[in-house]
Amino acid sequence: MSGRERRTGHAPGAARRAARRQATTQRQPWLRRSAVAAVLLLLIGGAAWWFFGRGDSVALYRFDTLDFHSLAFDPTDPQTLYFGHHQGMKMSRDGGKTWQDTVVRDADVMQLGIAVSDPRHRYLAGHGLFVFSRDGGATWEQPATNLPDYDLHGFAVAPSDPLRLYAFAVGVSGLFTSADGGLTWEQLPLPPGDVAGMLPLAVAPDDPLHVYAGVDDVLTESRDGGKTWQSLPGPGAMIMSLAASITNPGTLYAGTDDGVWVRSADGAWERLPLTPEGVVMAVAVSADEPEQVAVVDQEGYFYRSSDGGRTWGGRGA
């Protein structure tokens, strides 16, 4: 059900949002548990380590979820990654070779955000979902906010400011920013172009007001926190996801409908040799080790590179 369909009805907006938050909490008991009981990283089950040879690249894993939306490295450990999908979140502690379910279930985790400057601050966002943690994921809270729509198809946290957030709410086709970790929000103008069902976002590592957004095959940029935008050359393919290098300001990775691309600090784009060619749904780059890059493609294959995307997979990844 779309965000627009969810907003139909006769209840006032505030009442609808309150009812939605209550329903979300009721079906997601991990939001209400104590710090002792609600350990997000409680692992359930396990998985075998398989290699999937595909073209010149080697996939380390294949997800069996129905969709493939978000991917993030843990800033405290490049061997720890998180993967979000419509039914929850998975976690890997061995660089993506094996993955386990976490207690985050019945939650549409389209977007993952972990503050690099203070990893205690973590965020999950998606269809009808916006929750945050201030203790590294041990406990989670769903705040009462003035955000008019919780169908978030774009989200980013500033690496240098754990409380500066950007979110695209598709139901109202609006871009919003928060300076207090999601408690209050301010609406921003949309970037130029045809912004429709998604808006991939990334924030520069050295400036919380320097924001990037992917609009179709164009990269847009704001240097004043989203108040004004300018269009920049894009990769020439539809941008599905963005990730900013933390240690190399100006370097961006983009998952697109034509593979994965990297933009250097001088603005030049290069297509990385991930084969077979296809749609890359999610991309992530390690905060501590900038050559560590990971992607998930439209078929659920997970690839990892240890050389900035020149080669993918294998035991050296």
- Closest C-alpha to 90, from 38, 156, 44: 44
How far is it, in rounded angstroms, from Cα 283 to Cα 121?
20
Q: Consecutive sets of 10 residues in the chain, 317 residues long: mean pLDDT of each?
A: 33 44 52 34 38 68 90 95 92 95 84 94 92 89 87 95 96 93 96 92 98 97 98 96 95 96 96 87 94 95 95 63
pLDDT (tens digit, 9 = 90+) per residue, 23-67? 444 556 556 433 322 323 333 333 444 455 555 688 999 999 888
Q: How much is the pLDDT for 66?
A: 84
Domains of the chain, start order: 3-305 (2.130.10.10)
Dihedral (CA of 148, 152, 157, 162) sign? positive
Which residue shows structure tokens 């690839």?
303
Give the per-residue pLDDT at 56: 66
The encoded tokens of residue 231 equal: 């269009």
Check if the beta carbon of residue 298 is closer than 8 Å to that of residue 281: yes
**What Å distances lie between residue 30 and 99, 134, 298, CA to CA?**
20, 15, 29
Supply the pLDDT for residue 299.
92
Sheet holding 269-271, edge to edge: 239-244, 252-256, 259-263, 269-271
**Token digits for 167?**
């979110």
**In the prediction, which pLDDT does 23 show?**
47
